[in-house]
């Protein structure tokens, strides 16, 4: 699944939390509107309530991109 698809689903579900990275905390809709097309196309995995991680070329979990934070 792509990061954009994960964020779309969060927005559609009315996600009531923020996603944090090293630079700040953002609502899923903010990321969806402001991230580049290349970033939104990154293969990712969402672990509900915990994080969104990048999927490596080999198909393994990579670095955590965003941590789930309570709003």
Mean local confidence (pLDDT), 15-37: 96
pTM of the model: 0.93
pLDDT given at position 66: 98
Q: Write out pLDDT tens, residues 27-51.
A: 999 999 999 999 999 999 999 999 9
Across 58-67, average pLDDT: 96
In the predicted structure, residue 71 carries a pLDDT above the cut 80:
no
Q: How far apart are CA 54 and CA 62, in angstroms?
A: 5
pLDDT computed for residue 51 by the predictor: 97
**Burial letters for 16-54: b for 16+ Cβ neighbours within 10 Å, e otherwise?**
eebbeeeeeebbbeebbeebeeeebebebbbeeeebbbe
Q: Across all residues in the chain, what is the average pLDDT? A: 96
């Amino acid at each position: 699944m792509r990061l954009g698809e994960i964020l779309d689903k969060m927005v559609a579900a009315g996600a009531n939390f923020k996603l944090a990275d090293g630079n700040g905390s953002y609502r899923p809709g903010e990321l969806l509107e402001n991230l580049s097309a290349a970033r939104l196309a990154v293969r990712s995995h969402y672990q509900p309530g915990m994080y969104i991680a990048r999927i490596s070329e080999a198909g393994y979990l990579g670095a955590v991109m965003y941590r789930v934070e309570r709003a």
